Structure 1
Amino acid sequence: MVHFPVNHPARPIYRVLAGLVGLYILVFGIWGTVQTLGEPLFDRGDTWVLGLRTNLAFSLVSVIFGIVLIIGASRRGNLGHYMNLTAGVVFLVTSILMMAVLQTDANFLNFSMSTVIVSMFFGLLLLGTGLYDKVGTDEHAAEERRHRHHPVSEAHTR
């Protein structure tokens, strides 16, 4: 059974972290779009923004992802929880796929190894924040805490 802590006391800190990741990605995307405007969409040039190599396509995708992450971090319900989990997986999978094609013509987002590392770091951070920012009723949180602290006694009562 999947176990997500409910109403974790550090939930506001995790949402701030997710919001800061979203803000960094949004600033990177906007700055990258300005720097690469007029170049081909999937250019393999040497444009670097905030320490990461980019092209117009990667910059535009970053703007969209940054906005989505900021929206998810600003919501009080479970929307941010699901968005962070999903974004974390997307970042991890994308970074692994792009690392696999780093030195080939299939590197259409113009990733560098630093971009792969930052994407993996952001993916792990977003996955972690998604694991701890679930919101529920007080009863649900109390039941989850009871199950977490006494899982063996519940198994014997069934």
Structure 2
Amino acid sequence: MAHFPVNHPARPVYRVLSGAIGLYILVFGVWGVAETAGESLFGRGSHWVLGLRTNLAFSIASVVFGAFLLIGASRRTNLGHYMNLTAGAVFLVTSILMMSVLQTEANILNFSMSTVIVSMIFGLVLLGTGLYDKIGTSDHAEAQRNHRYHPVADMHRR
């Protein structure tokens, strides 16, 4: 069973990080939609927005994902925890898939290597924030702390 820390003291920092990534992606998407309006959905033009190459399909997906991340960051429930874990995995898988088809006609989202790198970084950060932003009751968090600092656990650390 996976261990996710509950009520981590740096949880607000992680929520701000995921919110900042969501805001960047939303701004990128809106700007990209404005930049690529009138183009074909999966065009392979040379439209660059905020340092990343884009097309209309990628820009629309970015608007959706940016809004998704902002909603998750604004919630004080475990919804944000699950949304960040999911978004982190989606960003990592998408970046690897798009890197594998970068120089082919299958590059339907018009990725460049810089887009792949940024997507990987965002995926790793979102996965990290998802690992540490789980909340629970104070009793649950106290039980986990007691288990973590139990004398038997201390013997294994030596």
Return the TM-score normalized by structure 2: 0.95
Displacement of 1:152 in angstroms is 4.2
Q: How does 1:58-73 map to 2 (within 5 A)?
A: 58-73=58-73
Partner residue in 2 for 1:139:
139
- In structure 2, the residue matched to 1:13 is 13
Cα pair distance change 1:143/1:103, threshold 3 Å: same
- In the alignment, structure 1 residue 45 sits paired with structure 2 residue 45: yes
User: What secondary structure does 2:126 align onto?
Assistant: helix
Matched, 1:88 2:88: yes
**Structure 1 portions without partners, runs of 5+:** 154-158
Alignment partner of 1:58: what SS? helix
Cα RMSD (Å): 1.0
Identity over the aligned pairs, expressed in percent? 76
Aligned residues: 153
Q: 1:69: how far off? A: 0.1
SS at match of 2:144: helix
What is the SS of the residue equivalent to 1:53?
strand
Would you identify which runs of 4 or more consecutive aligned residues in structure 1 move more than 4 Å? none
Unmatched runs of 5 consecutive residues or more in structure 2: 154-158
1:128 aligned residue: 128
Match runs of 1:94-109 below 5 Å = 94-109=94-109
- The TM-score normalised by the length of structure 1 is 0.95
Q: Which amino acid aligns with 2:70?
A: I
Distance 1:52 1:151, change over 3 A: farther
Is the alpha carbon distance of 1:78 and 1:38 closer, same or farther for their aligned partners in structure 2, counting shifts above 3 Å? same
